[in-house]
Every structure is written in structure tokens, then in C-alpha cells.
């Protein structure tokens, strides 16, 4: 019985996503239809029209399978070998920087210190990145 409830809840999420896709096509929105669907679901949840318990188990199950949905996008990177050969180091630094920024935000939530302010952390990271890459602030601006 529990699997039927979970499947039904995942179906509700799918229907809302499909509605978002159709709205994006009909209204010529500049955002993906799946994002429009998520915004609709968010609005329905926040307004109380759809209680969270109506979609909670289905959402948890979909999140559990989310890595499987990302495999095609990850394997598609193979087609961009020359791009990663040229820009690979910059992308690695970008990933490291965004991870550090995320950690700084989380640390700032737990320990309020001037060192953990996200803007300061980002500024220091960008300065280090410019120094390492030899890019002047004039070229960046």
C-alpha cells in the first residue's frame, strides 16, 4: 500500500511538472518548463492548496533516484573534450571556489565571525584567482 501512495505522490509531482512544461510552451516563457512546474508546486505548497504530506513521500523517492537522472548529462561531457582541455583549470578553480563559498556561508550560519562572511571569502578567493592566473582587475572589469 505504501508504494502505491508513493507512486501516486510522484505522479502528482509529474503532472505539475507537465503543466509547467505546457505553460512554458504556450506562454513562450524564457525559463524551462520544469522550472515553471517547480515554481507552481512551490506556490501550491506555500499557499496550502497542496499540503506537503500529499507529495512528501513521492518527493523523497524522486530525490533518492536523482543521481540516475544526472548520468546522461555527466556522460555528455565527453563531447566537450577540447573545451575542457583549454578551460579545465579554470573550471576546477571555479568548482573549488564555489565549494569554498558554500562552506563559508554554512560556517557563517554556525559561527559568526568576520572571517566567515561570504562576501569577504569570495573577494579573497577572486583576488587569489587573479593573482594565480595573472589577470588584472582591469581585464576582469
Spatial neighbors of 7 by CB under 8 A, at least 6 apart, are 58
Q: Is the dihedral of CA 27, 33, 38, 39 positive or negative?
A: negative
Which range has the worst mean pLDDT, 11-15, 33-37, 81-85?
81-85
8 A C-beta contact, residue 21 and residue 42: no
Q: Is the pLDDT of residue 123 over 80?
A: no
Q: How much is the mean pLDDT over the chain?
A: 80
CB atoms within 10 A of CB 42: 11
Reading the block at residue 130, the C-alpha cell is: 587573479
Q: DSSP string spanning 82-132?
A: HHHHHHHHHHHHHHHHHHHHHHHHHHHHHS--GGG-HHHHHHHHHHHHHHH
Q: How confident is the model at residue 63 (pLDDT cuts 50, 70, 90)?
A: confident
Q: How confident is the model at residue 113 (pLDDT cuts 50, 70, 90)?
A: low
Amino acid at each position: 500500500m505504501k508504494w502505491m501512495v508513493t507512486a501516486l505522490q510522484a505522479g502528482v509531482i509529474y503532472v505539475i511538472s507537465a503543466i509547467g512544461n505546457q505553460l512554458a510552451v504556450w506562454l513562450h516563457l524564457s525559463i524551462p518548463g520544469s522550472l515553471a512546474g517547480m515554481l507552481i508546486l512551490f506556490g501550491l505548497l506555500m499557499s496550502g492548496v497542496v499540503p506537503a504530506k500529499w507529495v512528501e513521500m513521492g518527493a523523497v523517492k524522486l530525490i533518492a533516484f536523482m543521481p540516475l537522472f544526472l548520468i546522461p548529462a555527466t556522460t555528455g561531457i565527453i563531447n566537450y573534450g577540447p573545451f575542457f582541455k583549454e578551460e579545465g583549470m579554470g573550471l576546477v578553480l571555479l568548482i573549488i571556489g564555489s565549494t569554498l563559498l558554500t562552506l563559508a556561508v554554512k560556517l557563517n550560519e554556525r559561527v559568526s565571525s568576520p572571517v566567515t562572511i561570504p562576501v569577504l571569502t569570495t573577494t579573497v578567493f577572486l583576488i587569489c584567482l587573479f593573482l594565480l592566473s595573472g589577470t588584472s582587475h582591469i581585464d576582469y572589469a
